Amino acid sequence: MKLAQLIAETGEQEAVIQVLCHLLGADRTTVFLLRDIGDETVKQVKKYIDKYKKGTPLAYLLGYTYFYNRKFLVNKNVLVPRFDTEVLIELAEKKIIADSVMDNLSRPYKILDLCCGSGIIAISLGYLTEWLNKKNPQDQYVITATDISEGALSVAQANAEMHNVDLRLVRSDLFTNLVGQFDLIVCNPPYVPTYEIGLEDKRVLKEPQIALNGGIDGLYYYRRILATARDYLRPDGLLMFEVGYDQAEAVQAIAESNGFEHVKVYKDLANHDRVVTMEL
Ligand SMILES: C[S@@+](CC[C@H](N)C(=O)[O-])C[C@H]1O[C@@H](n2cnc3c(N)ncnc32)[C@H](O)[C@@H]1O
């Protein structure tokens, strides 16, 4: 069968291409250039697409997805990484690079990924810190990644091993099991208002609700985290949150009412408010 025909029959283009890449161990270009797809492969693709159409995210069916140009393992215990989170990582990278230039690090530089899920943020930053560490072997970076979900931490562990990034993984209800202060805290907490979950895309209902549900107004975790975060942030440190497209103003107000200063809001590529950063 021709690729175009398989796409037409299933009514799914992107999913069909991704499944074919997966089944054939091929890249996208190779899949586009296929002259004929064998009957057995067509049957298998259709099985995947059936489950996908019934509402299972493709990443769960494949067992992995790509984020920030890297492959990450995922399963039903973790949120499927969203493109939106790349902005947070880019800003965190800038902060780490700026600090590495400014500071003559005579102590470990400590990064915390709070609510780490599959570990995409911590591991992406780990690539940078390991590169910086090669340039300046005397500098030492410690990345801690925490989540309340045992299942999520297992996925983060598997991803850290796959990427050969050293992470300190801690099971913790927000800061409860943490001690010490961090130079950089990054956090993509659950922030979807309860009533909005699954409204736009029913596939979201298959993702862990604990990774999505931010309470009635979506702000539950920002309030809880900001009530105690100052104890865990170094005086010259930076705390950065991913936020929902309409939450930046509210998060800014919560931050300021908890004594944070220099609150800044950054937009994503779609021009939505996406990251809020703050200092003490
Ligand atoms: C929006 S997901 C973010 C996952 C990952 N950082 C990402 O960007 O894809 C939020 C994560 O917060 C975790 N979580 C929920 N409640 C928590 C709590 N009280 N303490 C720590 N983690 C929590 C969930 O298990 C989930 O993995």
**pLDDT tens by residue, 186-221:** 999 999 999 999 888 889 999 999 999 999 999 999
Q: Is 0.85 surpassed by the pTM of this model?
A: yes
Atom of ligand 1 nearest to the CA of 118: 5
**Rounded to an integer, what distance in angstroms lies between the CA atom of residue 237 and that of residue 234?**
5
Residue nearest to atom 8 of ligand 1 (CA): 188
What's residue 198's pLDDT? 86
**Rounded to an integer, what distance in angstroms lies between the CA atom of residue 273 and that of residue 188?**
14
What's residue 205's pLDDT? 94
What's residue 104's pLDDT? 66
Q: 57 in ligand 1 pocket by Cβ < 6 Å?
A: no
What's residue 103's pLDDT? 65
How is 208-246 classified by DSSP, letter by letter? -GGGTB--TTS-HHHHHHHHHGGGGEEEEEEEEEE--TT
Q: 87 in ligand 1 pocket by Cβ < 6 Å?
A: no
Count of positions (residues) in the chain: 280
Domain range list for the chain: 3-54, 76-279
Fold of 76-279: Rossmann fold (3.40.50)
Nearest Cα neighbor of 144 from 101, 187, 104 is 187
220 Cα: distance to centroid of ligand 1 (angstroms): 13
Residue nearest to atom 19 of ligand 1 (CA): 173
What's residue 239's pLDDT? 98
Q: 123 in ligand 1 pocket by Cβ < 6 Å?
A: no
Measured over the CA atoms of residue 31, residue 33, residue 39 and residue 40, the dihedral's sign is negative
Q: Which amino acid is at 268?
A: D
**Rounded to an integer, what distance in angstroms lies between the CA atom of residue 61 and that of residue 48?**
7
What's residue 101's pLDDT? 84
Identify which of 79, 112, 220 to mutate to test ligand 1's pocket (most ligand atoms within 8 A of the CB). 79
Nearest Cα neighbor of 126 from 68, 42, 180 is 68
Q: 149 in ligand 1 pocket by Cβ < 6 Å?
A: yes
Q: 247 in ligand 1 pocket by Cβ < 6 Å?
A: no
What's residue 200's pLDDT? 83
Low-confidence ranges of the chain (pLDDT < 70): 103-105
221 Cα: distance to centroid of ligand 1 (angstroms): 10
195 Cα: distance to centroid of ligand 1 (angstroms): 19
Identify which of 65, 147, 167 to mutate to test ligand 1's pocket (most ligand atoms within 8 A of the CB). 147
What's residue 71's pLDDT? 97
243 Cα: distance to centroid of ligand 1 (angstroms): 13
**Rounded to an integer, what distance in angstroms lies between the CA atom of residue 147 and that of residue 29?**
38
What's residue 266's pLDDT? 98
